[in-house]
Chains A and B, each alone.
Chain A
């Protein structure tokens, strides 16, 4: 398998007048094309920082990040960044929200209108194209946000705790949805989460970070049957095994 992302010996220190904070220290990992990877670790250990650097919005203090073998120097539409809050624009309709990315990029390298319409239908948003975000449920908003990210046809998706604002029930079903969307679109994804079980049901590989300054503590490869959905993984015997392992790692 080809490596889509190489994160090489990265350090990052935030400078402020009052202090400097080393958020990430000597961290190296790589991700293969088509992999679903979760990053877990204690609060404030630098998970968001890692994603922000991969997105090109933040430069590492040292080390280099390669995407498809090319050094990341600025924002690229090859990478789609889905923030924790959906940040939908309240004054735009669902359709217009989805089209923000393509509009900004003058439709270059974007999904076609037909393809987007198909996604909208597939993910339970048919009939809501002309609705404003405040008429949608939390789960629907999250799906709009995902489709908005997919509209630019990124190879690599960065998901920063995308489910944390949802209630448990919705969360389980949106996990299922988003997992299947990402699988069927054949994307590579990096998911940051606080939720151990979420990391287990969604990913092929889990990266555990130490507390700040964050660096890799452990990488756990999960070998669930490829055909299982996140929901089905929850009742798989392997689930408990991984849960205990991760739990210990995070103590």
Chain B
């Protein structure tokens, strides 16, 4: 293993061993990708087959072709993009707001040690509280609809964002802080020059977690009260026992969250390079 790593770092191209190694690695990567795609195709195929041959009731398990048909139907009656954009907007809003709010709280708690110490147990409790329990309150306090949904999203995300960021800040080595202090740095310079750049990887991974949580929060919020959105489709489909609709919503959710995750990963790569 050690040897192969050495070879990989070697900048001289051309040793036969090296070329063989590269080729082998490429083949491996290719096979892994291939296996992934095959797995997906097999899954869809078997699902379709199971429905077609009625191994299980297609009414209960739906099927890929029924999902496609359902999607087209939604598209034709004009509601497909309304649902998608409703949920997407709510999610992005909840994601951005909770990141900003969480980051601000984390910085304040980091800078003001007594406050951090005082609030510690309450933050722990808030974190372990199932936020859905706050549903009725949210509706009464902020009203139904988008506001309630985004609020639910924020509530789900903000505590964990705060905790993750704060732990990152607190993990920065004391010696480095001392070094900057000995050079005469003030608190804000320490934040700017050290704490933020040092915890950038932690920040990006927090973003990733946060995004996943934002989806959860928004769908929960839509369960609570909504006129449109994928969560609405889920509830509605369930109530009228139209599982094709439920499955369609789930599949669209999968695709959307995969795309957003991809975007964050690209962002991660750019940020880490620029650092």
A contact residues vs B (CB 8 Å cutoff): 55-57, 75-77, 79-81, 83, 85, 87, 89, 91-92, 100-101, 103-105, 152
Contacts and interface: CB of A to CB of B under 8 A. Distances in A.
Contacts of B176: 87, 89
Nearest to A102: B183
Given A81-B179, A83-B178, A104 B185 contact: yes
A76 B181 CA distance: 10
A92 B183 CA distance: 17
B24 interface: no
Contacts of B181: 57, 75
Interface stretch (B148-156, B190-198, B215-223): B190-198
A100 B183 contact: yes
Chain B at the A interface: mostly helix, strand, loop or mixed? helix
Interface of B: 173, 175-176, 178-185, 189, 193-194, 197-198, 200, 275
25 contacts: A55-B182, A57-B178, A57-B181, A75-B182, A75-B184, A77-B183, A77-B184, A79-B182, A80-B182, A81-B178, A81-B179, A81-B182, A83-B178, A87-B173, A89-B198, A91-B197, A91-B198, A92-B197, A100-B180, A100-B183, A100-B193, A104-B185, A104-B193, A105-B183, A105-B184
Given A85-B175, A87-B173, A57 B184 contact: no
Nearest to A158: B182
A87 B179 contact: yes
A83 B175 contact: yes
Contacts of A81: 178-179, 182
B162 to A, nearest CB: 24
Contact of A76 (B173, B184, B198, B275): B184
B275 A91 contact: yes
A81 B175 CA distance: 11
Given A57-B178, A75-B183, A104-B183, 14 more contacts: A55-B182, A57-B182, A75-B184, A77-B183, A77-B184, A83-B178, A85-B175, A91-B275, A92-B197, A100-B180, A101-B183, A104-B184, A104-B185, A152-B183
